[in-house]
Amino acid sequence: MTTATQGSAEGGEARTDGRADNGYVSETEFPCGLAERLRGTLIDADYTVSGVRDRLGDAAARALAREELVPALRATGGEERLGLLLRLWWLHSPVPERAIRSILPVDELVEADLVTVEETEQGRSVRALVHLGPWELEDGRPGFVVSDPKIRPGSGVVPRHDHVVGAGNASATLSQLIVDGPVERALDVGTGCGVQALHLAARARDVVATDLNPRAVRLAGISLALSGITDARLEQGFLYEPVKDERFDLIVSNPPFVITPDASRYTYRESDLPGDTVCAELVRQAPAQLTEGGWCQILANWVHSDSDDWEDRVGGWVTGTGCSGWVVQRDVQDPAEYVELWLRDSCEHGTPEYTRRYDAWLDYFEREGIKGIGFGWISLRNDVAQDATVRVEELRHEIEQPVGPYLSDVVDGAMTAHRLTDAALLSAHVALAPGVVEERVGLPGAPDPEKIVLRQRDGLRRVARVGTVEAALAGVCDGSMPVGPLLDAIAELLGEDPLAVRERAPQSLRTLISEGFFQVTR
């Protein structure tokens, strides 16, 4: 295990006054009283998700998404409280010391390494050393997320190795995936700025968050304190090491999964473990950290190669763990796309190192036989069962968000279908799942449809092409009768041999149960 250290991106020395050369926050305690006062000031000024949205307006918000600051600076001009706070914490523009001192305890914030005071041509100004963004907690209360300032493309600066990234698209994806609570104990592995710990606080009585990077642990602590969450526990260490003797009802992780030859160049996205090993280890070690029935949910990257199939590769991580679950691939990138994505992430486009790193990264993929990289999620439930099964699939289309409220039903459906023998299935009572509709497609005036499909209007929004027997069953099954007698009646209606229908129907029906089109009621 490596430990992140204070210093520049190239491993330089930290300043003796506790502040890094590029102005990053040092690892010092954040006073509880300061957290309470700062939280109160931010809320009173309406520095909230809705308040910031209304103040910036749509045009400035869209410009910020394009990395353009001018419209937002114009929208937040003057010395009104919310505008000053936005320019300081969100836009990272120096604000007049005189004006900001009337709002914030500047000296205490300087002592805490959250801001610095500078001499400029316009006079003394205050500049933020962190990004402090509003967040909305699960119960609707205002929260706040503290991270390092975003490094903008074209600035000529790249992140330092212990950069703490803010909440982004991946954070949002994971938060939408988390199963509903309540639970007793929850763990956030690789907490970063602490955003997932904020989500867990609404689901769990006891929250623990870990990170290898000591600066991430500190900033996550500030995020939690400013959000009014005072009882979460933060630990420094790699993966499960800080909590190896503990068990949790819910584990979530947005780990450093980037597959790269430069191990631990940036601690927020890379680990010392080769390839996709960090994700494999998170999965393999999860059962030892979970209570019976507990969930582990992670975002992950995995390798595509000629030597194995990705479904077998990722499925192999779970084999023998006793967990049921669901692995979903949402995207696949070729090596060049993948390298370009992460070089943009670290703002290296246009730097002298860009071409060299690009070339070296592609060389690494060629040596390792990596043809593509998959991105998706893994959700496991510790069923402690020898016959536990994990559904592995690719879903590229839009699905209903959040996933968490119906994720258990997806896993239950796959497990039920896996466990049903043909005889048990024919004796089971099934019903068409809520939200499933039948569609028939055919030529005008034709007596029979060219195809019949079942479509889920919500949830995973799957579409399944079915035969006449399955379509007829969908039209009549309501859970009141066993499947077998229903199939006999359908066979008679269609003029088919009932024994032949009973023999072939279980295979297709089992798939439809696994995919959530039918539910077993008893």
Tens-digit pLDDT profile for residues 347-388: 888 788 899 999 999 999 999 999 999 999 999 999 988 888
Task: Specify the pTM.
Answer: 0.90
Report the pLDDT averaged over residues 479-492: 94
Report the pLDDT averaged over residues 12-21: 34
Report the pLDDT averaged over residues 109-125: 91
> Whole-angstrom Cα distance, residue 364 to residue 204?
42
Q: Which residue has the higher pLDDT, 333 or 27?
A: 333
Q: What is the pLDDT of residue 6?
A: 26
CA 213-85-148 angle, to 5 degrees, is 15
Report the pLDDT averaged over residues 440-462: 83
- Looking at residue 16, the DSSP 8-state letter turns out to be T
Count CB-CB contacts under 10 A for residue 98. 12
Count CB-CB contacts under 10 A for residue 80. 13
Confidence of residue 5 (pLDDT cuts 50, 70, 90): very low
Q: What is the pLDDT of residue 8?
A: 27
Report the pLDDT averaged over residues 189-217: 96
Report the pLDDT averaged over residues 418-422: 93
Q: What is the pLDDT of residue 108?
A: 96
Q: What is the pLDDT of residue 152?
A: 78
> Whole-angstrom Cα distance, residue 397 to residue 357?
33
Tens-digit pLDDT profile for residues 294-306: 999 999 999 999 8
Report the pLDDT averaged over residues 267-287: 95
Report the pLDDT averaged over residues 317-332: 93
Cα–Cα distances in angstroms (integers) from residue 319 to residues 116, 374, 420, 515, in the given order: 52, 19, 20, 21
Q: What is the pLDDT of residue 298?
A: 98
Tell me: pLDDT of 2 over 90: no
Q: Mean pLDDT of all residues in the chain?
A: 90
Q: What is the pLDDT of residue 121?
A: 77
Confidence of residue 445 (pLDDT cuts 50, 70, 90): low
Q: What is the pLDDT of residue 456?
A: 97
Most distant CA pair in the chain, distance:
92
Tell me: pLDDT of 476 over 90: yes
- β-bridge mates for residue 79, sequence order: none
Report the pLDDT averaged over residues 36-52: 96
Confidence of residue 15 (pLDDT cuts 50, 70, 90): very low
Tens-digit pLDDT profile for residues 502-517: 999 999 999 999 999 9
- Looking at residue 207, the DSSP 8-state letter turns out to be E
Pairing of strands 183-189, 248-253: parallel
Tell me: pLDDT of 446 over 70: no
Confidence of residue 443 (pLDDT cuts 50, 70, 90): low
Tell me: pLDDT of 345 over 70: yes
Coil vs helix vs strand at 499: helix
Report the pLDDT averaged over residues 164-192: 95
Q: What is the pLDDT of residue 334?
A: 97
Coil vs helix vs strand at 4: coil
Report the pLDDT averaged over residues 276-299: 97
Q: Show the 3-state SS of 99-149.
A: HHHCCCCHHHHHHCCCEEEEEECCEEEEEECCEEEEEECCCCCEEEEEECC
